[in-house]
Structure 1
C-alpha cells in the first residue's frame, strides 16, 4: 500500500494548507469529513436565528466547503443521504412540500423523511458537541419557513397567488424578459427547488460569519462525527488498531467523479460484487478512517493543484520532501537534459510518487 501510505504522509506534511485556497489556484486541501459542493443560494442569519439576507451566488463564487458523513460524501442514487449542515432545499426546508416541492424518488413514500433526517443529524451534532452557530442554524431550520423567506427575498420564483399557496416555478417561459438570477446559477435542466444552500451567521464581534470558512465549525463536526464511529479494527496502512472506514471517498478527478480507488462489497445494487461473504469487510484488508480521508484528500488536492489530464485520465507526480521533481509527462530526452539541475538540488530524478 505504498501509494496510500505516501498520500497519507503527504497530507500530514502539508497540513498547513488545509482549508487554504492558494492564490491563482482553485485547489483546496480538505479537512477530514468534509467535501466541496456548488452552492446556489447564500442565507444570512442573525444571532436570533432570523433570516436577514439572502443572495444568489455567481458560478465563480459557488464552491463551498461542507461537512459530510461517509455516506453523504459519496452519495448517489434515488435516496441520497443528507449532509449535516449545508444541503439542498428538500433537506433544509420544512416548508419544501408546501410549495409543491418534489423530493428525489427514494423519499416518495415518505416525503418528509429527507427533512426529518437532516434535522435529526444537525440536532444530534448540536446536543453532543454544541456550537453557537450550529444552534442558530438549527433554531432557524426548526421554524420551517426557509422557502417562504426565500420567496419574500425574491430569490425563489413561484407561481403568482401569494407565497402561502404558491408553488415552485420550475422554468422561465417568458422569452421576452430576463429570468430571475437563480436560473443562471443552477446547472442546466435544474429547477429552483434543486438549489443548494450555504449559511452565514452574523454575530456581533465574530470575525468569521461564513460557516464554510470557520475552523471552529470544522473542528466541532470532526469531534462529533468521530464520536459516532465504532467500527474498529486493524488498519493495514499504519498497522494500528483504529476506527476503520466503511466507505471510501470519490470525487477525485472532479466534483462529479463517482469512480473510487477502493470499493466494497454490496448487498444490494451490486455496484461491486466481490468474493467476500462478511458484512463488515474484515475478510480483506481494513483501512483506517483517518488514513483513507487524508490519502484521498491529498490525492484530490494534488490532481487539482499540479495534475495533468489526458481525457478522463489524471496523472500527478510529487515528492514527499517537497522538492522540485521532473514533469511526469516530459520527453525522456528533455528529462536527461535537466538531470544536472535536479542533482544540484539534491534530488534523484527517480525520487517521486506517481498516481
Structure 2
C-alpha cells in the first residue's frame, strides 16, 4: 500500500516534492512579518507613552499666594514687592513684569494684596517630583506653604500665550506658532500654484522629448535629496544673492517652497494621470480645445488628489527643521512677528532649542510642544483624507 501511494505521487503531474518546505517557508515568512508589525506598534506605543508622560505635566504650573506690596520702592527694585523668604521661590519673570502690571492697573499703587504669583521653575519641578535645585531651608518653607494650602496648580496658559524666554517657567510656543503660520502661508502661496501648473504642463501639454524627460528626472531626484540641501540653497540664493532678511518667514517660506515643489508636482501629476482618457476624448468630441478640456474637466476631477498631495507636502514642510536652521530661524525670538520680513522662529526649531536646555522644565515643555506639533500634523493629514473623500468623484 505504501509503495503504491509513493508511486502514485511520483506519477502525478501536479505533485510538487518541495511543497512541504514551501509551506514551512511561507509560515516562517508570515511569522517574520507579524513580528515586525508587533515590533513597530510596540515602538510607536513606547514613543507616544514617553512623549505624553513627559509632556502632560507641562500643561499645569504652580502658583504661590503671596502678599505683594505696590509702591515706589518696590517699583524701583521689584524684589522688595514680596517678603524676603519668597524671593527665591517666585518667578523672576513675574517680578520683572511688575511695573507693567502697575501701569495697566494704577489702582494697585500703594496697596498690599494677596496675589497668586507664578512659582520658580525649581519649585514647580520639586512639586512634580522631578529633579530640582533647592536648598533644605527652601524645601521646608515650600512644604509649609503647601500644607497651608497656599500653593495652587493651574492650567499653564503661559505655554500658549508667551514666546520663548530664558526663564523656563515663562517660555511658551506663541511666537513659534505665529512664525510657523506665516512661513507656511508663504510656502503654499508659492509652491501650490507653481507646482500645480508645472504638473498640468508636463502631464497635459508637454511633448515626449529629451527636454521634458530631463525635467522629469530632476523633479523626481529633487523629491529624494536631503532637506538640509534646500537650506543651503535658500541661504545662497535668497539671503546672500538677493539680500532678503535672515531668519524671516519670507526666506523660510521660500526655502520650504523649493523643498515642497517636487512633492506637489509628483502628486499632482499622479492625480491628473488617474483621470480616464475617455473624459478628454469626450471633451474633444464636443469641440473643446485642450485648454478647455484640462481646465473644465480634467483638473476638477483631479483636484481631490492634487489637494491631498499639497496638504501632505504642507505637513512635511511644517515638520522640517534642518533647512530652517541653515537660514537662521533657530534664533532666540521672544516676540511674535507681525510681518513676513521680521525675525521669527518655527515650532520644530523652537523644540530643537528647548531640547538642548539643561533645565528640567524645558524637557517637559519640549515633550508638550511635540504633542502640539503631532496634533497639528495628524489634523492636517486627517483634513487631507476628508477633502479627498469629500470631493472624490466616481466615474
Q: Normalising to structure 2: TM-score of the pair?
A: 0.22
The answer to which structure has the higher helix fraction is 2
Pair member with larger Rg: 2
Give the number of the structure whose residues are more often strand, by fraction: 1
What TM-score, normalized to structure 1?
A: 0.23
